[in-house]
Structure 1
């Protein structure tokens, strides 16, 4: 718990309140004090909503009493005198409010907005806190007097029933999240980090050394210290290192701006360290890590792994007809019904021929693709990335489900991070689970694959991905991306959408990236330039 030393505070009414219209000395009703002023024949009790004049006067008297520190008088003007008096006393004592100025605004019916300027003092540190609140005036059912409807929200709009304000030393220092080179990462500069930075601070802030706590005012009640509402004195931040690279992150943020509903993630192939991720729009969902959608033909990297294990080679004849099915099942087609009767397996891969893969389905069984996905690419287990992230799903199945999964559809569900990891595994030869912070900071084990890719299979995969990047469907996007490169495009059809989801995976040297544009159409045209931009910035 955060703690604050409860000091007795003498509150003074700011001079600006004295003499202002409606802010005269507090006049408690004669009927409360038992004094005179009424004739033997009492006036008829008022009924109905309070008048505008009553609303104005009741609010003014209540605010004046609160500002003076006369909590008894202020409480008496509410429908819960004892609770209101206690809450207002705690406001001064627990929140360390030395004095408060309360300025009413124009009433809107029975609601009166007001401005609060509170002077806070704690252990020699002082601060002025300005905010707005409001109160409601109604007529009491038994007293028939105009009263303030007491709620903790009168003191501050963030308060709910059972909550109060407290000022003291924070439980821990503030935390600066930094990139791999020590650069502070800020959501203003990197908007896709807005939802992730608080998650990192919450999960790992208490594990950090260094830094000094600040002095804050926060919401107290419920399960413990809640939202910080005001900072009296900034603490010295502790540093939380991440695997991110600020340069790559900036490139990712810029790249997704060009396409709505787009996401990208990049990893270091040899370690699994996440170098960048971005989303447009930048939302709490973080689709780069948490999207659960079919990846289309980019998943043919995994399918090709299964076929290569079964003896298919890049040069194996694999005709690409306009349509094809397997075992009298669902009929599949290619983009724009293209065909190539003389195609080889590597040609099918490079031009993203669906039917060529479907005609090879007899080489596999319903467990082949899920088995390869788990054995070499780390799926089928929990990925402890450091923040919430989807683990990927390759369920397998007979009949049409098997053939649909061969081209990255059916019930397969992936995120851009999952697909970036697949490309990274091909480049590195061994699956390294993606992570956002140091492995020793993460609770729970990192996912591991059963083994590395067989050298021959890996060599063939790299050869086919290189061909796709140089003269296949990825060539346009990869133009200008030099070095040891490979890529694969994908277009995942979704029922009810006019355009398929566009996908793209690629690697360059030790960096691999996966990108997605929902309803983007062809992956090479939509997601490809996004991935290429990140790869260029990550050299």
Structure 2
């Protein structure tokens, strides 16, 4: 240990306040911002203090907690240094008894306000197998409501950043063997190379590890007590996650429908924007080729997100209007600057209008009013949800992709709310996998439920739609999407793609958000993709290049 460091060692578990992290060792051990006096300590215990915490109080409270935790003694005594001893006690105790941490070096960093970061370098040991384990976390000091004492604000994430109220740390023989997930061509898929697949790979292991033919080893797991199809408060799925392997098991090989080349393009393209997601599917089969997210919360929004998709929803609306013979791709349609329905005013971007032109132009330029003007002629507020379910497989709540997913929702609405659904606003909820599937159905003519592993692997029954698009309707829909991709709002993004292509752009307004979410969906030969960039503005500007890059890789 470096000279000058202060340590506390009891039972092989110790805390180190090292001098090499930007401040003096003596100051750290006696108060991270200069130390407190005996008078201050006595004052804090003899009367209920109020007001903001001092730097000395923050330093002393964090030092006391980290020292007692590192000493590995009575968990209840450590928990008394938090503002929730009842909740903290079992989690702190389990760190030794269930996670089997046998020793640790805890190095605090300089406080930032009331937050104190720290690094843990530990050893996990069970049945003769051991491995070093390093991670970082942080604690926050608050003033106790009744005592006025500086206390650690309790949350399971203090002990480990991934711990929540529904997860726990456990070192044991794994309940399922590890898997070697491979793409459709046998290329290995790892979290390190494809970070967006992290939660998906965890779910695949949990669901199919036993069928893949491997054998389990000893691992430190982040175990979830939630439903495996649910999502946790942190935005991740509830599948168990391996944090450390003490002794390796034997991997079983699991083949997925993913395409490593397309996945790589998806990973790269979403990194250009914050809060971006993309998904790609194969129209002829429904096989998922790629799923990628770039989000601060780590949430798999591509498969589990629920957002208004904006004008990309007009693919479904146009199909419904075509089936009712209320429009035709070559028939003239009205596209005024604005339209009023049930007291609600709908406008076009920059108040544009189109006079005396075919409906395909209104579709290609994403004219909102051309769709709204036809609502009275439809005469059925439930027509759009019905079209989405019967033809596009949306809103049936029965997709079985192989992992947790959301299959879209267009609830029954009326009046102005139903009108908003026509242009992908209001109560419509979608994610990019849903919209990639909608585009795939438009391209293929028949809905193929997206899957990431073959249904034959577990004999699961996948969803089917009640009917296909009539051939004439499908042809007109594709012709309008082709026009959008070649001379409409999607032309710039799709310019680099030749062959058979089609697209639809969307900008979805969000309450309390100045800039709209950017949506884009398109197809190129036998691949369809959709993307969303939150607060990205026009569909073709942000989400468009993401989709184009993924389509080009396919």
TM-score (norm 2): 0.68
> 2: CA distance between counterparts of 1:220 and 1:338?
54
Deviations 1:402-437 (A, max 9, x none): 221111112111111110001000111110011111
Structure-1 separation of matches of 2:225 and 2:331: 66
Moved over 6 A (4+): 20-23, 91-97, 100-106, 113-121, 156-160, 164-168, 217-223, 226-229
How many angstroms does 1:248 deviate by?
0.5
For the Cα contact (< 8 Å) 1:392–1:418, is it kept in 2?
Answer: yes
What runs of 5+ residues in structure 2 fail to find an aligned partner?
1-6, 11-41, 46-66, 79-94, 109-117, 136-155, 227-239
Alignment of 1:185-334 (within 5 A): 185-209=189-213, 211-216=214-219, 231-281=245-295, 283-311=297-325, 312-326=327-341, 329-334=343-348
Between structure 1 and structure 2, the one with the greater Rg is: 1
Deviation for aligned residue 1:216: 4.7
Q: What TM-score does the superposition give when structure 1 sets the normalisation length? A: 0.70
Query: Which residue of 354, 358, 374 maps to 2:389?
Result: 374
Asked if residue 175 in structure 1 is aligned to residue 175 in structure 2, the reply is no
Matched, 1:339 2:353: yes
Correspondence 1:42-57 to 2 at 5 A: none
Q: Aligned to 2:328, what secondary structure does the other structure show?
A: coil
Q: What residue in structure 2 maps to residue 84 of structure 1?
A: none
Contact 1:378 1:433 in 2 (8 A): yes
Q: How does 1:85-96 map to 2 (within 5 A)?
A: none
Distance, in Å, in 1 between the alignment partners of 2:313 and 2:212 is 39
3-state SS, counterpart of residue 331 of structure 1: strand
CA distance in 2 between partners of 1:330 and 1:92 (Å) = 61
Q: Is the 8 A contact 1:95 1:217 kept in 2?
A: yes
C-alpha contact (below 8 Å) 1:102/1:114 kept by paired residues = no
Distance of 1:511 and 1:165 partners within structure 2? 41
Structure 1 residues 460, 177: closer, same or farther in 2, change over 3 A?
same
The Cα shift of 1:492 comes to 1.4
Cα deviations across residues 258-300 of structure 1 (Å, max 9, x unaligned)? 1112111100101111100111126442111122111111111
Give, in whole Å, the separation in 2 of the partners of 1:404 and 1:96: 55
Is the 1:192–1:283 Cα contact (8 Å) retained in structure 2?
A: no
Change (3 A) 1:315 1:444: same
- Select which of 500, 503, 507 maps to 1:484: 500
Q: Is the 8 A contact 1:384 1:442 kept in 2?
A: no
Structure 1's 335 and 180: CA in aligned 2 closer, same or farther, altered over 3 A?
same
Matches within 5 A, 1:155-170: 170=174
Does the aligned pair in 2 maintain the 1:396–1:405 contact within 8 Å?
A: no
The 1-side partners of 2:368 and 2:468 are apart by: 27
**How many Å apart are 1:490 and its aligned residue?**
0.9
CA distance in 2, matches of 1:524, 1:198: 33
1:425 and 2:429 are equivalent in the alignment: no
Q: 1:119 to 1:396 in 2, by over 3 A?
A: closer
Distance 1:203 1:313, change over 3 A: same
Q: Does the aligned pair in 1 maintain the 2:275–2:296 contact within 8 Å? A: no
Assess, with a 3 A threshold, how the Cα gap between structure 1 residues 359 and 126 changes in structure 2: closer, same or farther: closer
Structure 1's 417 and 126: CA in aligned 2 closer, same or farther, altered over 3 A? closer
SS of equivalent to 1:206 = coil
Q: Which residue of 1 aligns with 2:528?
A: 512
CA distance in 1, matches of 2:203, 2:336: 49
Match of 2:493, SS state, is helix
**Cα contact 2:347–2:368 (8 A) shared by 1:** yes
Equivalent pair of 2:123/2:133 in contact (CA under 8 Å) = yes
Q: Return the offset for 1:319.
A: 2.1
8 A contact 1:307–1:363 mirrored in 2 = no
> CA shift at 1:96, angstroms?
11
Q: Any idea what the Cα deviations from partners look like across 1:18-65, whole Å, max 9, x if unmatched?
A: xx9999xxxxxxxxxxxxxxxxxxxxxxxx99xxxxxxxxx9xx99xx
1:147-206 CA deviation, whole Å, 9 max, x = no partner? xxxxxx9xx99999xxx9998754443212221122221222211112221122112212
- For structure 1, list consecutive stretches of 5 or more residues without a partner in the other structure: 1-19, 24-47, 50-58, 67-73, 80-90, 107-112, 133-152
Provide the C-alpha distance between the structure 1 equivalents of 2:423 and 2:120, rounded to a whole number of angstroms: 62
439 and 469 in structure 1: CA distance in 2 versus 1, 3 angstrom threshold:
same
Aligned to 1:501: 517
**Structure 2 match to 1:86:** none
Contact 1:215 1:231 in 2 (8 A): yes
CA separation of 1:172/1:488 partners in 2, compared to 1, >3 Å: closer, same or farther?
closer
- Superposition RMSD in Å: 4.2
